[in-house]
Amino acid sequence: MSSPDLGIPISALATECDRLLNFGGHFPHPLGGAAWLDATGQPDLTRPVYTWITARMVHVYVLGHLLGRSGNADLAAQALGGLTGRLRDNASGGWVTSIDTTGQSPDEKACYTHAFVVLAASSGTVAGLSGARDLLSKALDIWDQRFFDDAAGMFVDSWNRDFSHLDDYRGVNGNMHAVEALLAAADVTGDHVWRARALEIARRVALEFAQPHSWRIPEHFNSNWEPQLEHNRDRPDDQFQPYGATVGHGLEWSRLLLHLEASLADPPDWLLPAAEALFDRAVVDGWAVDGADGFIYTTDWEGTPMVRDRMHWVVAEAIAAAAALLRRTGDDRYANLAATWWAYAERYLFDRTYGSWHHQLDASNHVIETVWPGKPDLYHAVQATLIPRLPLAPSIATALAVDQSSASTR
């Protein structure tokens, strides 16, 4: 693996990737799926098993396996077993959002959940995990049939459990992760229709939603895809539907547009300038705007900070987006930013005692757990250690498999 000079040593990225994957190795839940991990890396069995966390663990431990890490294929397979077992709804189809120790699940089927099942199944297929290809076929079928709205060119957000009632809410977060999953599925299946779908979603989000709002992304809509700019004003730090513009999603979309551009044979010319505009808006609005280093969580529609807490995933996405823009443009500005943000993560987020990254800091960069208790998620941080080392396309698991195959023939 090679990359432009990022200002972050490749050895540091590799070491941190190993440290993250070592931390998460206790995730298998005794009943199946991935347990929520506490701050020390131990399973918190009082919490439900979440399908999106389980799917992310499949994905990251496949990546570990493709990096040559011993035992990671088995961990990925155990997580995959949760997706093919207790988290799958055999009666109504699709996947539950979560399941508790009594076997109870919320009355919901979510696009966000299904996007991560598709990503996990795509990565599992790359690694040759037993059952992954069949899982991918089933997940793509129900995701396409139940969640994709052809007229809108977007995914709807959520149904009730038996798919008899579609919620009126429409959201961009599920569609963002859909773009990532669609690109991964296209690499595995060879079906270009998934890339075309990702492009249409990205076009709407970037040019119809974000650009008219000075590149701040409205994420909450009604069933007619009309923006609901005041949604959750009374719950501004919501985990998945915060009020206002989410700084980290501007960074994440910036990177995804570049992956999309690199995956297309004839990409439209708006993708790079949109990626640069989303990135610049997020950095201006979000980085060190209140007297301390770190990215704030959200702003209002004029860019005024709303939630000033620092979430680990935002820094991870900032590093990954800067690395992607550096690879695409060669502009050293992005290398300097990535190095600055990596140094911030090393200083404030890396937990040198127990491992992984602290998931949430306050405005003074002290650890808090009001939104994200424990350390349940490796996905953003692991990808931040890998994206700087890989090409923009194909998607991460496929790129690692290609690199591994090339290395074996050198």
Q: What is the pLDDT of residue 173?
A: 98
Query: Is 10-405 assigned to CATH 1.50.10.10?
Result: yes
Set 29, 114, 220, 249: catalytic member: 249
Give the pLDDT of the chain (410 residues) as one tens digit per residue: 445 688 899 999 999 999 999 999 999 999 999 999 999 999 999 999 999 999 999 999 999 999 999 999 999 999 999 999 999 999 999 999 999 999 999 999 999 999 999 999 999 999 999 999 999 999 999 999 999 999 999 999 999 999 999 999 999 999 999 999 999 999 999 999 999 999 999 999 999 999 999 999 999 999 999 999 999 999 999 989 999 999 999 999 999 999 999 999 999 999 999 999 999 999 999 999 999 999 999 999 999 999 999 999 999 999 999 999 999 999 999 999 999 999 999 999 999 999 999 999 999 999 999 999 999 999 999 999 999 999 999 999 999 999 776 555 44
The Cα–Cα gap between 87 and 103 comes to 10
Contact predicate 375/39, CB 8 Å: yes
State residue 405's pLDDT score: 62
Report how far residue 8's alpha carbon sits from residue 10's, in angstroms, rounded to the nearest whole number. Answer: 6
- Only one residue has tokens 């004003």, namely 233
**Annotated catalytic residue: which of 29, 220, 231, 380?**
380
Output the six-digit token pair for 393.
Answer: 């396309």
| pLDDT for res 223 | 98
Q: What is the rounded distance in angstroms from the CA atom of residue 345 to the CA atom of residue 342?
A: 5
Question: What local confidence, expressed as pLDDT, does residue 409 receive?
Answer: 40
Q: Say whether 249 is catalytic.
A: yes
Please give the pLDDT value at position 407: 56
The DSSP result for 78-115, as a single string, is HHHHHHHTTTB-TTT-SB-SEE-TTS---S-EEHHHHH
Whether the ω angle into residue 394 lies within 30 degrees of 0, i.e. cis, is yes
Mark whether 26 is an active-site residue: no
CA 173-176-179 angle, to 5 degrees, is 155
State how far the alpha carbon of 3 is from the alpha carbons of 60, 328, 379, 386, in Å: 21, 11, 21, 11
Spatial separation of the C-alpha atoms in residues 16 and 12, rounded to whole Å:
6
User: What residue type is assigned to position 22 of the chain?
Assistant: N
DSSP 48: P
Element (H, E) at 149: strand 148-149
Residue 239's identity, in one-letter code, is Q
